[in-house]
Amino acid sequence: MNWDDLHQRLNKDTHENVSSEEVDSIWSAIEPEVDRINGRRRRKKVGWLFFALVGMLAFAGGLFLMNLNSNENSIAYQDKIKVSETDSKKIPSEVTASKDEKVATQQTLSTKDNRTKKETIIYNKKSASNEDVDFKTTTKIIRTNNSTTRGIASTNYKNINTKNIQTPAFKEQEVKKPQTIIVDSYINSNKTIASVNRSFTPVELLDRPFTGAVSESLKIDFYNKINNDASKPEGRLTLELLGGISKAKRDFRTIDTSNQYIIDLRNEYEKSLVTHHAGIRLQWQFDNGVYLGTGAERTAIRELLDFQDETPLPETAQAIERYALKISDNNRFVKGKLQEPEEPIVKKIYNSYNLWDVPLLLGFRQTKGKWSIGAEAGTFLNVHFRSKGEILLSDADFIDINTTRRSVGFGLHTAGFAERQLWNNLSIKASPFIRYYPSSLARLNFPIEQRYTLFGGNIGIIYKL
């Protein structure tokens, strides 16, 4: 037998017999600790469950809030459709028509939710005469329970159930003139968003036969009405609260070239800090996506003058230091300077240029579902300007820039933006922009002009009034 055999033999039976009393003794000794471990494990599980629940609730809440508006519109619309289909039975038939009279019945129903749902049905002629009708090949004929009723519908549109829609009758004596009955309407905030109309037009009054092209134009008109009204049920005036930051690029200009030295020094010692923006804007949105905007915005351009240098104390020369080159007993003076004590100059000043502007903006907004993108451009009329701090006047002198001017003119502004609708009337916005102030923000008549271009971005919220 060798050591390996001993290893096998010693590990062959490692279970020694223990009495139940001994097991109970060990268990009772460790039971409190085991309970503590189990409790910790349970608390850990409950904690994870709690966080998971909170996360799920937050996620569900976010989804709910983000889709609140579209769901409301969608549900309201669907309810209305149901009402429309059932209530149509109740339409009082004040007029009675003979079946063989030729009439054109047109019914258009269209609406829009976040997925732009549109439905259109066009009925034509209760009689079987098709001579006046020019159906396109892409349209299909709908037959209702009334076999005398025919319709065409674009294949791109969902057909509504027409079984319950009764054909309105009209008085024989009124057949000669067109008439319209409102079957149902979709009302939101006391404003009609969409309506289901039935129009009766005597054939002899039609200037041209119904065609697919005619129905298409009707659909688009109705769709645009709903698109504009449904997405902005409360009006077209919007209020924006914006805040943002930008990077100010400073451009020095001077007529006197001797000032270039100062410009170099200022570029070296004056650093541009983050510019802050805050503003409020009102916008008036037109049907075609164009809008006009105005409001008020505060822009705070900030810079840091961090100057460190030494300057000799005046009239304190202690010696003259000379350097000479000696060649074959000829000393040639090379360079010399006064030995003067120097004092350190340390300046650390935060300069600020505060502007209050009134923006006059023209923009265009394209909306698709809950998202909008667009661009705007215009001027920022400066109505108040105030600067504070010090700048370099020479290599060791400073000048105060504290000044309050009525205006520094105007700024040119252009921006793009993306918006996301959160609730019915509330959206958020992100907008990168560029703004240029062509007037100098330096003191009046200061020899070095300084103009600013701002590259930045705003974020904000938009409330539809």
Partner 1 sequence: MLSEKQLIADCQRGVKSSQYELVRRYTGMLKTVCRRYAPDESKVKDLVQETFIRIFSNIENYQPTGSFEGWMRRIAVRCSLQWLAKNYNKREAQPEVMPEGQPLLPKALENLAVAEIHALIAELPYGYRTIFNLFVVEGYSHKEIGHILNITESTSRSQLTRAKIILQKKLKKYNTSKYKSA
Which residues are at the interface with partner 1 (CB under 8 A)?
A: 1-3, 6-7, 9-18, 20, 22-23, 25-27, 29-30, 33-35, 37-38, 41-42
- Taking the complex as a whole, the smallest distance from the CB of residue 53 to partner 1 amounts, in Å, to 20
Q: How far is the CB of 52 from partner 1 (least distance, A)?
A: 18
Return the number of the residue (33 or 256) whose C-beta is nearest partner 1.
33
Rounded to the nearest 10 degrees, the angle between the axes of helix 20-66 and helix 68-87 is 70
What does the block give as tokens for 306?
A: 């961090």
Q: Residue 28 or residue 445: which is nearer to partner 1 going by CB? A: 28
- Between 17 and 258, CB nearer to partner 1: 17
Grouping H, G, I as helix, E, B as strand and the rest as coil, residue 338 is strand
146 burial via Cβ count (<10 Å: 0-12, 13-18, 19+): middle
| Cα–Cα dist 165/428, whole Å | 43
Find the helix or strand (DSSP H, E) in which 260 lies. Answer: helix 260-269
CB of residue 21 to partner 1, shortest distance in Å: 11
Other Cβ atoms less than 10 A from the Cβ of 109: the count is 22
- Among 147, 158, 154, smallest CA distance to 210 is for 154
Nearer to partner 1, 39 or 62 (CB): 39
Structural contact between residues 103 and 128, judged by C-beta atoms closer than 8 angstroms: no
Minimum distance from CB of 15 to partner 1 (Å)? 4
Closer to partner 1 by CB, 6 or 182: give it: 6
Q: Please provide the DSSP assignment of 57-124 as one string.
A: HHHHHHHHHHTHHHHHHHHHHHHHHHHHHHHGGG--------TTS-EEEEEEEE---TT--EEEEEEE
Nearer to partner 1, 35 or 342 (CB): 35
What is the smallest separation between the CB atom of 12 and partner 1, expressed in angstroms?
A: 7
Please identify, using beta-carbon distances, which residue of 8 and 78 lies nearer to partner 1.
Answer: 8
Looking at residue 174, the DSSP 8-state letter turns out to be: G
Shortest Å distance, C-beta 47 to partner 1: 15
- Smallest distance, Å, CB 5 to partner 1? 8
Nearest distance, CB of residue 33 and partner 1, angstroms = 5
Q: What is the Cα–Cα distance from 108 to 106, expressed in whole angstroms?
A: 7
Would you call 450 exposed, middle or buried from its count of C-beta atoms within 10 A (0-12, 13-18, 19+)? buried
CA distance 374 to 385: 30
Q: Is 52 or 54 the residue whose CB approaches partner 1 more closely?
A: 52
Residues 118, 112 contacting (CB under 8 angstroms): yes
Structure tokens at 132: 């006046």
Separation CA 97–CA 103 (nearest Å) = 10
Closest approach, Cβ 430 to partner 1, in A, equals 45
What does the alpha-carbon distance between residue 221 and residue 219 come to, in Å, rounded to a whole number?
A: 5
Which of 9, 421, 101 minimizes the C-alpha distance to 234?
Answer: 421
Nearest to partner 1 of 30, 383 (CB atom)? 30
Distance in Å, CB of 37 to partner 1, minimum: 5
Query: Which is nearer to partner 1, 12 or 332 (by Cβ)?
Result: 12
